[in-house]
A and B are shown apart, each in its own frame.
Chain A
Amino acid sequence: MINEHYTLANGTPSRPQFSCRVPLSNSRQLFVVNGLVQETGKPFSFRLQAGKMMDELLQVISVRDDQGPTLLDVNTEFVFGNGSSGRLLCCSHAFTTGSVTTHETVEIHLEENACAEIIVMQHEHNEAHHQTRYTIHQEAGSQLKMTFLSLQGCVIENEIEVNLQGRNAVCDLSGLYLADGQQQITNRINVQHLVPDCHSSQLFKGILDNEARGRFYGKITVVPNAQRTDAFQANHNLLLSEKASIHTDPQLEIYADDVKCSHGATIGRLQPEELFYLRSRGIPKKEAELLQQLAFAYAVLVKIPNEVLRERMMDLVEKRLRGDC
């Protein structure tokens, strides 16, 4: 079902202890260490043959450790053949003692009527810099659902370019970024509607504490003749401290006249009325604030269709918000 570039690891690899080691039910795990597949020593790539339906989730666990270079370039390609359907969880971790930088390019190609669900979970450490450029091409009738969870890392930059180049392609992007300390998280998105009758949506939400900084640039481009485009974009942010900041920059560039496009951005703080309501029922302030944050994050997490995966991600987000991971 998956091409010959790698074989799946048998048994539990001897990597460091971390939550992703615990396999989810109905999933297969693949470890990529310092940019190379652990079993084969080769770079990772993924191709799902036409018509194939992956029944298992493939979890690609990318790990940086002290054996690798300080600056690592990684190029990955994901191809979903005609009419295929697959689900991936791509997570990145760093187990280095010092600072590391990763420059990554990810090409994702959905051929006609392919259906893909991809979750990107970024969970490195306070001295890790990670830049990723995602270039996505979608052919007619393809459907992509992609969720970005940015949890840990000194500097995280995601540049996401989507090219909807076949009619009736659907692209649903969502993201949740949680930043504290001096973390910096940037999401730069450009969804290009190149042909008529495509749908796209972007829902990105962020919770920023301490001196964390966030940036969101979200663009929808609708070229001339890409009629009946339906595009949506929203970016909502919760600032928990005086010094946390977010720069949000929604943009629409529309050159067709029969389109439906909307965008919205908000920056807010925890609602005192909600907080009082929760506390009046006996929930202590800290716990009530956590509930509020989880509630804020919920709209993104609920987009993960698979229940097992959704609950795992919810647990992880809760741990992160509690400062437990």
Chain B
Amino acid sequence: MLTIKDLHASIGDKEILKGINLTVNPGEVHAIMGPNGSGKSTLSAVLAGKETFTVTSGEVKFQGEDLLALAPEERSWRGIFLGFQYPIEIPGVTNVNFMKTALNEHRKHQGLPPITAAEFLKLMRQKMEIVEMDHSFSSRGVNVGFSGGEKKRNEIFQMAMLEPKLAILDETDSGLDVDALRIVATGVNKLKRPDNATVVITHYQRLLDYIVPDVVHILYKGRIIKTAGKELALEVEQRGYDWLIKEL
């Protein structure tokens, strides 16, 4: 589904990703862990097409297509979804309008007519249930005045609406209390299917108690320094990253 080969990316003169190699297959859950500043968020932003970063070399194929040649919206239409670490507040754009516009753009790309108002409301209600989101959120400005937990739930709600093939969740657990964490993780698990995949970027093992990964990668200074099964996350939790760095 996703193949990253020797990916290098910079911001200004500073190289942040220094040769990433990663393969994600349908049905898999990958976790990317690593200390602060290792490049985790940069990797997710580069995959979603953020223009702040420049890809200097390497390639990314998504379902056989050159992902790096596509605009962020084109990536979204093809099934890439980025759950933001810090979801953006957009006063004046309601959640309903935002999602309706997004969904209809997806439908346009699939050759489908715009969704009817009734169908949309029904769909929205269903998907809001997945993350136990109150219906009143739909008429509010996107993320405006939402608590940290509500913002993250809104991210998973958007993911549920757009049904991506590959969801990249950037520190979805940061700033969440235990209840919110459970709701968010349950939402992600409910959306899991054999034909889609999830990449979870996290600092802590905690989230991985709920979203169990098939593969765990450790990112350090812009490179993946270790890849193993889910037990690696537990080991990191107990021993930190130092032993891995020393192994280098």
**Which residues of A line the B interface, CB within 8 A?**
272-274, 276-285, 287-288, 291-292, 294-299
Of A277, A288, A295, A299, which contacts B87 at CB under 8 A? A277
Query: Across the interface, do B87 and A298 meet the contact criterion of CB distance under 8 Å?
Result: no
19 A-B residue contacts at CB 8 Å? A272-B52, A276-B48, A276-B49, A276-B50, A276-B72, A279-B72, A280-B82, A282-B77, A282-B109, A283-B98, A285-B73, A288-B73, A291-B90, A291-B97, A294-B93, A295-B91, A295-B93, A297-B92, A299-B91
Query: Using Cβ atoms and an 8 Å threshold, which residues of chain A touch B109?
Result: 282
Query: Across the interface, do B76 and A279 meet the contact criterion of CB distance under 8 Å?
Result: yes
Prevailing SS type, chain A contact patch: helix
Query: Using Cβ atoms and an 8 Å threshold, which residues of chain A touch B103?
Result: 282
Query: Across the interface, do B50 and A281 meet the contact criterion of CB distance under 8 Å?
Result: no
**B106 interfacial by beta-carbon distance below 8 Å:** yes
Contact with A along B42-75 (1 / 0, CB 8 A): 0000001111100000000000000000011101
Of B51, B105, B158, which contacts A276 at CB under 8 A? B51
Of B49, B99, B158, which contacts A279 at CB under 8 A? B49
Task: State the CA gap A281–B99 with chains docked (Å).
Answer: 8
State which size class the interface on B falls in: 20 to 34
Task: State the CA gap A280–B73 with chains docked (Å).
Answer: 5
Nearest CB in chain B to that of A284: its residue: B73
The 4 closest A-B pairs by CB, nearest first: A295-B92, A298-B92, A282-B76, A279-B72
Of A274, A282, A294, A296, which contacts B102 at CB under 8 A? A282
Query: Across the interface, do B92 and A284 meet the contact criterion of CB distance under 8 Å?
Result: no
**Which residues of B line the A interface, CB within 8 A?**
48-52, 71-73, 75-77, 81-82, 84, 87-88, 90-93, 97-99, 101-103, 105-106, 109, 141, 158, 162
Task: State the CA gap A278–B106 with chains docked (Å).
Answer: 13
Most buried by B among A273, A284, A296, A299: A284
Most buried by B among A273, A282, A285: A282
Query: Across the interface, do B101 and A273 meet the contact criterion of CB distance under 8 Å?
Result: no
Query: Using Cβ atoms and an 8 Å threshold, which residues of chain B touch A283?
Result: 73, 98, 101-102, 105
Task: State the CA gap A186–B21 with chains docked (Å).
Answer: 57
Query: Using Cβ atoms and an 8 Å threshold, which residues of chain A touch B77?
Result: 282
Query: Across the interface, do B73 and A279 meet the contact criterion of CB distance under 8 Å?
Result: yes
Shortest CB distance B181–A (Å):
23
Shortest CB distance B76–A (Å):
4
Task: State the CA gap A296–B92 with chains docked (Å).
Answer: 7
A sample of 14 more A-B contacts (CB under 8 A), given A279-B49, A282-B162, A291-B101, is: A272-B51, A273-B88, A276-B72, A278-B98, A281-B98, A282-B76, A282-B109, A283-B73, A283-B98, A287-B101, A288-B73, A291-B90, A291-B98, A295-B91
Query: Using Cβ atoms and an 8 Å threshold, which residues of chain A touch B71?
Result: 279, 284-285
Task: State the CA gap A278–B101 with chains docked (Å).
Answer: 10
Query: Across the interface, do B90 and A295 meet the contact criterion of CB distance under 8 Å?
Result: yes
Task: State the CA gap A296–B50 with chains docked (Å).
Answer: 23
Query: Across the interface, do A274 and B91 meet the contact criterion of CB distance under 8 Å?
Result: no
Shortest CB distance A274–B (Å):
5
Shortest CB distance B62–A (Å):
14
